[in-house]
Structure 1
Amino acid sequence: MRNWVRAAAGRVRRDWVSVVEATVAATVAWVLAARVIGHPDPFFAPSAALVVLGETRGKRLRQTIEILLGVAAGILVADVVVQALGPTTTTVFLVLGCTLGLMVVLGASTTLTVQAAVSALYLVVVAAPKGSLMPFRFVDALIGGAVAIAASQLIVARDPLAPLVAEARQTFTDLADLLDRINDALRRCDEDAARAALERARQVDDCVDRLREAVAATGETLQLRVRRRRHIGQVREVEATTRQLDYAARNIRVLARAGVHLTRLHTATPPELALAMNELADALRAAGEAMVHSLTGDEDATECAERADAAALEAVRIAAQLFESQPPLPLIMIIGQIRATAIDLLRAVGTDDPVLGRVDEALGLPESPTPPGADGPPAPRADPGTTPTTMAA
Structure 2
Amino acid sequence: MPDDRTRPAQRISRESWTRLVRDGWTRLTRNCRARLRHLRGNMIIPVQAGVAAALAWLLADDVLRNPDPVFAPAIAVGTIVSALGNRLRRTLETVIGVAVGIGAGDVLIAVVGSGPWQTGMIVAIAVALALLLRGGSTLLVQAGGTAVLIATLAPANPDIVVPRFVNAVVGGLVGLAVVLVLLPLNPLRLVQRAVGPALDRLATLLDDAAAALTAGDAAQAQRALDRVRDFDERLATLQDALAAANEVVTLAPQRWSNRHVLAELTSSGEHLERATRNCRAMLRRIVSVLEDDEPVPGQLPTAVRQLGEALRTMRQELDRGREFHRTREQALGAVDQSGSAYAEGLGYSGNVVVAQVRTAGSDLLRATGIGRRAANRMVRRAAGHSRPPSPPPAPPRP
Q: TM-score, normalised by structure 1?
A: 0.77
CA 1:102–1:267: 2 relative to 1, 3 Å: closer
What is the CA distance between 1:74 and its match in structure 2? 1.5
What is the CA distance between 1:191 and its match in structure 2? 3.0
Task: Tell me which of 78, 84, 96 is aligned to 2:111.
Answer: 84
How do residues 104-123 of structure 1 correspond to structure 2 at under 5 angstroms?
104-123=131-150
Task: Tell me which of 295, 320, 324 is aligned to 2:339.
Answer: 320
How do residues 14-53 of structure 1 correspond to structure 2 at under 5 angstroms?
26=53, 29-30=56-57, 32-34=59-61, 36-53=63-80
What is the CA distance between 1:67 and its match in structure 2? 0.4
- 2:193 maps to 1:166: yes
- 2:56 maps to 1:63: no
Give the % identical residues: 29
Q: Do the aligned partners of 2:217 and 2:290 also contact (CA within 8 Å) in 1?
A: yes
Measure, in 2, the Cα distance between the counterparts of 1:146 and 1:10.
36
Task: Tell me which of 349, 353, 361 is aligned to 2:368.
Answer: 349
- 2:139 maps to 1:100: no
User: Residue type matched to 1:349 in 2?
Assistant: T
What is the CA distance between 1:209 and its match in structure 2? 1.9
CA 1:264–1:345: 2 relative to 1, 3 Å: same
Alignment: residue pair count: 360
What is the CA distance between 1:357 and its match in structure 2? 4.4
What is the CA distance between 1:131 and its match in structure 2? 6.3
- 1:330 maps to 349
What is the CA distance between 1:181 and its match in structure 2? 2.1
Q: Do the aligned partners of 2:298 and 2:341 also contact (CA within 8 Å) in 1?
A: no
Gaps of 5+ in 1: 369-388
What is the CA distance between 1:87 and its match in structure 2? 1.9
Measure, in 1, the Cα distance between the counterparts of 2:339 and 2:97.
59
What is the CA distance between 1:199 and its match in structure 2? 2.3
- 2:379 maps to 1:359: yes
Task: Tell me which of 194, 206, 221 is aligned to 2:221.
Answer: 194
CA 1:6–1:176: 2 relative to 1, 3 Å: closer
- 1:210 maps to 237
User: Residue type matched to 1:174 in 2?
Assistant: R
Q: Do the aligned partners of 1:205 and 1:246 also contact (CA within 8 Å) in 2?
A: no
- 1:376 maps to none
SS across alignment from 2:244: helix
- 2:335 maps to 1:308: no
SS across alignment from 1:42: coil
How do residues 164-313 of structure 1 correspond to structure 2 at under 5 angstroms?
164-265=191-292, 269-292=296-319, 298=321, 300-301=322-323, 304=324, 306-313=325-332
Measure, in 2, the Cα distance between the counterparts of 1:226 and 1:117.
35
What value does the CA root-mean-square deviation take over the aligned residues? 3.6
Measure, in 2, the Cα distance between the counterparts of 1:122 and 1:348.
51
Measure, in 2, the Cα distance between the counterparts of 1:322 and 1:244.
25
Measure, in 2, the Cα distance between the counterparts of 1:184 and 1:37.
67
Measure, in 2, the Cα distance between the counterparts of 1:75 and 1:158.
34
CA 1:188–1:55: 2 relative to 1, 3 Å: same
Measure, in 1, the Cα distance between the counterparts of 2:266 and 2:185.
22
Deviates more, 1:327-336 or 1:12-21: 12-21
Q: Do the aligned partners of 1:238 and 1:291 also contact (CA within 8 Å) in 2?
A: no
**1:3-36, Cα deviation, whole Å (9 max, x unpaired):** 7995996897556956786577557645653455
Q: Do the aligned partners of 1:67 and 1:112 also contact (CA within 8 Å) in 2?
A: yes
Measure, in 1, the Cα distance between the counterparts of 2:90 and 2:268.
26
SS across alignment from 1:161: helix
Measure, in 2, the Cα distance between the counterparts of 1:213 and 1:15.
18
Measure, in 2, the Cα distance between the counterparts of 1:124 and 1:100.
14
What is the CA distance between 1:136 and its match in structure 2? 1.2
Q: TM-score, normalised by structure 2?
A: 0.76
What is the CA distance between 1:128 and its match in structure 2? 3.5
- 2:171 maps to 144
- 1:371 maps to none
Measure, in 1, the Cα distance between the counterparts of 2:305 and 2:187.
34
Q: Do the aligned partners of 1:123 and 1:129 also contact (CA within 8 Å) in 2?
A: no
What is the CA distance between 1:117 and its match in structure 2? 1.8
Gaps of 5+ in 2: 1-20, 389-393
Measure, in 1, the Cα distance between the counterparts of 2:305 and 2:237.
25
SS across alignment from 1:204: helix
Deviates more, 1:246-255 or 1:175-184: 175-184
SS across alignment from 2:99: helix
**1:157-204, Cα deviation, whole Å (9 max, x unpaired):** 584432222322333232223222221222222333323322221222
Q: Which has the larger radius of gyration?
A: 2
